[in-house]
Amino acid sequence: QASVVKINPDAPQSPVRFLSLETGKTVVLPTPRLRKGFILLDPDDIPPSKIKYSSTIRGAFTYGRLISPENLPRIDLVVAGSVAVDRCGRRLGKGEGYSEIEWGILSEFGKVNSETPIVTTVHDLQIVPEIPSDPWDFTVDIIVTPTRILLNTCERRKPKGIMWEFLTKKKLREIPLLQELKKRAKRK
């Protein structure tokens, strides 16, 4: 039912990006490490023979367009990659915090909110008994594996905005979009 899907840029999510584009969904793709912000992939702008290629990072830069978060459409569904996830939707990413930062940025601009569903795709072996979480972590609503779909029936958490107090100076320096948001927050 979603028409606009935000999907992380990691290679394991490439099939999800492909299926989304192939079924006519607009894909919002964060650039790697958020260095250049976000890419908008509109399936109407991609030749049918290039849909698969456009679902790769290189192809996304070719057939998508860089777009500022404020100009993104509202996002109907978020697909987050996970190294591991527990049945309560607590997830472990690669440890850099990019999924949470992306969520925070999109939340700041009103593109996602507590009602926006978050899905992760993992192998059955990546479901573990329990994962600790930090204040900035979101939980996923749905876990999709090759053999089943699990719905999170535990308490869900989707922090609003950027939690500036937890960001390091290094992370701020590495992501120009965060620098812009910080300046914007100070002006308010």
Tens of pLDDT, residue by residue over 35-60, are 999 999 999 999 999 999 999 999 99
* Residue 87 belongs to domain with CATH number: 3.40.50.10420
pLDDT at 184: 84
Q: Does residue 171 lie in a domain region?
A: no
pLDDT tens per residue, range 97-124? 999 999 999 999 999 999 999 999 999 9
Asked, for residue 187, whether it belongs to a domain, the answer is no
Report pLDDT for 95. Answer: 85
Q: Count the domains in the chain.
A: 1
- pLDDT above 80 for 188: no
Does the structure show a pLDDT above 90 at 125? Answer: yes
Is there a domain that residue 147 lies in? Answer: yes
In this predicted structure, what is the pLDDT of residue 185? Answer: 80
pLDDT tens across 81-104, in order?
Answer: 999 999 999 999 998 899 999 999
Residue 172 within any structural domain of the chain: no
Q: Is residue 12 part of a domain?
A: yes
Give the domain range for residue 50. 1-162
Mean of per-residue pLDDT scores for the chain: 95
Domain assignment of residue 69, yes or no: yes
Q: How high is the pLDDT of residue 148?
A: 98
Q: Helices 176-187 and 98-108 sit at what angle, rounded to 10 degrees?
A: 40
Could you tell me if residue 176 is inside a domain? no
Task: Note whether residue 38 is domain-resident.
Answer: yes
CB burial readout 25-59, b (16+ within 10 A) else e: bbbbbbbeebeebbbbbbbeebeeeebbebbbbeb
Query: Is the pLDDT score of 138 beyond 90?
Result: yes
Put simply, whether the predicted model's pTM sits higher than 0.85 gets the answer yes
